[in-house]
Structure 1
Amino acid sequence: MSTTPFKHVQTAHCESGVISNMFGHYGLQISEPMAFGIGAGIFFGHLPFVKVNGVPGTTYRIWPGAIFQRVCKRLGVKMELQKFSSPQKAMTALDNVIEKGIPVGVLSSVYYLPYFPPSYRFHFNAHNLVIYGKEGENYLVSDPVMDTVTQIDPESLIQARFAKGFPEPKGKMYYPLHVPEKVSLHKPIKEGIDQACHFMLKVPIPLFGVKGIRFLAGRVKNYPEKVGDRKAVLYLGNIIRMQEEIGTGGAGFRFLYAAFLQEAAMLLQKEELSVLSQDLTKVGDIWRNFAFHAGRVCKSRAADGVSYKELSEMLVQCSVEEEQLFRRLSKVKL
């Protein structure tokens, strides 16, 4: 295991950022976009019957933890993962590991992290960060979405690690037991791309992938009539939040995946991937345009008269563009 100081690098997204920072600590240099792509993080799902804070759930990435599991499997990294029945056991286990100089990834709720500005704190229980030591009673934190390292008091850390709600973190922590010094990325890139194309194009349930975007488009068009103006604004606001705040990096991770395709194009000498990267960036711009206009609707500033029907049409355009793009990506010979 490494004895070098933990190097903090700010990233766009917590899970892929922790992968990049933690693996880099042990000499396995992998960028955040590469981690996101190998882990097939790109996704879409809209689950109207799964309410998060009373609002239908929308996700632009694969479920929490899946990126980490896939990257570890594809790169040959062995991880120790633990959950706990009580805060006391969880904190004792954390102390025992960091005393050995081993940085530890923990799952937390954003709501209880005091170093987040109040406006950014809400009940999201799948936020990843790294605890890499202690200073007095306080824990040293490398949170990949922050620009620098910080600290957290033990009481707040306990609250964040044992927050109630879905999903419950249950004190989850993880750290590497074995990290290979060198890996070939060719096969992991191919497997990640194949898996992403499958989830975007071939899941038979119409709530997921490009079919899920079309499904959401149909619901957005009818929000005011179906749920009333007040709920329509709440529902629309959550779609934007998941896209632009939880979908960190903007455009629901589309820019992040485009960066992965560009990096993969250089590594594998595949010009087709570079073209697809540029095209996905343009799709990300359409998502951004949707978020901008939807935000104006939420704030009643739609002076240009953008309607829910027009927002729905923007989502349909996103689904058409993404279906074409992922079909092209699935046919690239790697």
Structure 2
Amino acid sequence: MPEVKFKPFSGEHCESTMLVNLLRQQGIELSEEMVFGLGMGLSYIHWQSSAMPYPFIGGRVKPDLLAENLSAVLGLEFDVRETGSAARAQDNALEALEQGKLVGLKLDHYYLEYFGEKRVHFHAHYATLYKVDGENAWLVDTKDGGGGGHTSLDSLSEARSAKGPMSSKSLSLTVKDGPALEALRAQLADKLPTAFFVALAANAHTYLNPPIKNMGYKGVLKSSGSVTGWLDEIADPAESLPIIAMLMEKAGTGGGMFRKIYGRFLQQGQKLTGVAALGAAAKEFEAIAAEWTTVAELIDRAGARGSQDALAEASRLMAEISEREHAQFTALEALAREAIEQAASTAGAQA
């Protein structure tokens, strides 16, 4: 049965880990932080529907956008496939493996047998398929997922077709062959500085101009205003608040609500471009990440002890974080747009 030879990578976040593996196998060497940043991954959302027992607090863009944004900024093409047929979904994956390609899969990791006792339902998890052996499939996963392992083909099919929040119809993706891939392999070093600033400007603009008030810096303020009522408004705060905190800090975020990853993206951007201000911004995001970690700890404490004081402090910190993130992204958007204009002016003069 098909097996793809490659050097596996296990990172912090599932979608960026999957993309790093797909790209590296095709000769595109990017760090997880660079993939996350070029994919314009940093965001914020406060989401709760009537069917949800507690709010979801998220620190990244919605699933599938990392690959879409990465494609746009690098000129890279992905072959993305969805199907309601479990048989066709398996055929799509096997076809790619037979062509020697790794396959990115979106699924509910609850059904993956290698997750063991840590299994909970989450329908927007990503893993990388590299081998099918008899009745088992072998996947690379995040550090939190133990780096991956094997699961039965039946369980994989169930994971891929599971329906729930943020799910897709057995979505798979591979890197497309062709001129775009060849050009990126040859010109990656030359393209990266411009791609970095384009992605930075776009991510900052989206964060600062959210389409609804529960996203971006406005969403952080919404959480700040609502968190103090959670002990009364959430049906089982002793159970639910620790889950909210765990999802914020430990569930593939890299710590600090993805802000640690983004800070390292900015550090790498400084080395890439030589712009010193990016180093200062990276340090500020590291400090903001530490505040987010404290917020998660306070929410966990509130659930465990029924502490209203802990939620009051979490509210205060989130209001401060909103202001700090607004200030940072305002400055970063201006910096990035100036760099893009300078590059365009230089290119025009040389032409």
Question: Same fold by TM-score, threshold 0.5 exceeded?
Answer: yes
Paired position in structure 2 for 1:317: 320
Alignment of 1:154-233 (within 5 A): 154-178=153-177, 179=181, 180-182=184-186, 183=188, 184-225=191-232, 227=233, 230-233=235-238
The reply on whether 1:330 has 2:333 as its aligned counterpart is yes
Once the two structures are TM-superposed, the CA of residue 94 in structure 1 deviates from its matched residue by: 1.6
Range with greater deviation from structure 2 (127-136 or 235-244): 235-244
1: CA distance between counterparts of 2:329 and 2:167?
Answer: 33
- The answer (yes or no) to whether the contact 1:107–1:161 under 8 Å persists in 2 is yes
Does residue 113 (structure 1) correspond to residue 116 (structure 2)? The answer is: no
Structure 1 distance, partners of 2:119, 2:146, is: 17
Distance between the aligned counterparts of 1:299 and 1:42, measured in 2? 29
Shift of 1:331: 2.1
User: Cα gap change, 1:329/1:49 in structure 2, threshold over 3 Å: closer, same or farther?
Assistant: same
In the alignment, residue 31 of structure 2 is paired with which amino acid? S
Q: Partners in 2 of 1:269 and 1:289 — Cα distance?
A: 32
Instruction: Give secondary structure in 2 for the equivalent of 1:73.
Output: helix
List gaps (5 residues or longer) in structure 2.
340-351
| 1:84 alignment counterpart | 83
Q: 2:311 aligns with which of 308, 313, 318?
A: 308
- Total equivalences in the alignment: 326
| Deviation for aligned residue 1:84 | 1.1
C-alpha separation in 2, matches of 1:211 and 1:264: 27
Q: Distance in 2 between matches of 1:321 and 1:133?
A: 45
How far off its partner does 1:259 sit?
A: 0.5
| TM-score (norm: length of structure 1) | 0.91
Q: CA deviation at 1:67?
A: 0.8
Q: Give the drift of 1:235.
A: 5.0
Counterpart CA distance in 1 for 2:299 and 2:222 is: 17
Other structure's SS at 2:48 match: strand
Indicate conservation of the 8 Å contact 1:42/1:60, yes or no: yes
Given residue 162 of structure 2, which amino acid in structure 1 is its aligned partner? Answer: A
Retained in 2: the 8 A contact 1:199–1:208? no
> Do 2:84 and 2:161's aligned partners in 1 also have CA atoms closer than 8 Å?
no
8 A Cα contact 2:115 2:146, kept in partner: no
The one-letter code sitting in structure 1 at the alignment partner of 2:296 is: A
1: distance between equivalents of 2:209 and 2:14? 27
SS of residue in 1 equivalent to 2:309: coil
Kept in 2: contact 1:48–1:56 (CA 8 A): yes
Instruction: Work out whether 1:250 is the aligned partner of 2:244.
Output: no
Q: Does structure 2 retain, via aligned residues, the 8 Å contact 1:61–1:247?
A: no
Identity %: 26
Contact 1:51 1:57 in 2 (8 A): no
Asked if 2 retains the 8 angstrom alpha-carbon contact of 1:60 and 1:242, the reply is no
Which residue does 1:153 correspond to in 2?
A: 152
Aligned AA (1:139): A
Instruction: Kindly provide the CA deviation profile for residues 186-241 of structure 1, in whole angstroms up to 9, marking residues without a partner as x.
Output: 2211121112111221125221111110111101112234x16x444455334313
- Give the letter aligned to residue 130 of structure 2: Y
Distance in 1 of aligned mates of 2:97 and 2:247:
33
Name the SS of the counterpart of 1:306 in structure 2: helix
**Secondary structure, counterpart of 2:132 in structure 1:** strand
SS at match of 2:137: strand
| Aligned 8 A contact 1:8 1:144 in 2 | no
Match of 1:44 in 2: 44
Letter of the 2:123 partner, please give it: N
CA apart distance, 1:115: 0.7
1:251, distance to aligned residue in structure 2 (A): 0.9
Unaligned residue ranges in structure 1 (runs of 5+): none
Q: Give yes or no for contact 1:258–1:280 (8 Å, CA) kept in 2.
A: yes
- Helix, strand or coil for the counterpart of 2:214? coil
Tell me, in whole angstroms, the C-alpha distance in 2 between the residues paired with 1:290 and 1:47: 17
2:32 aligned residue: 32
Whether contact under 8 Å (1:50, 1:57) holds in the other structure is no
Contact conserved, 1:244 with 1:252, CA < 8 A, in 2?
A: yes
Amino acid corresponding to residue 268 of structure 2 in structure 1:
E
Match of 2:6 in 1: 6
Shift of 1:242: 2.6
CA distance in 2, matches of 1:235, 1:151: 31
Which SS does the other structure have where 2:314 is aligned? Answer: helix
Report if the CA contact (8 A) 2:19-2:104 is conserved. no
Shift of 1:34: 0.4
1:204 and 1:90 map into 2 onto residues whose CA distance is: 34
Which of the residues 232, 238, 241 maps onto 1:236?
A: 241
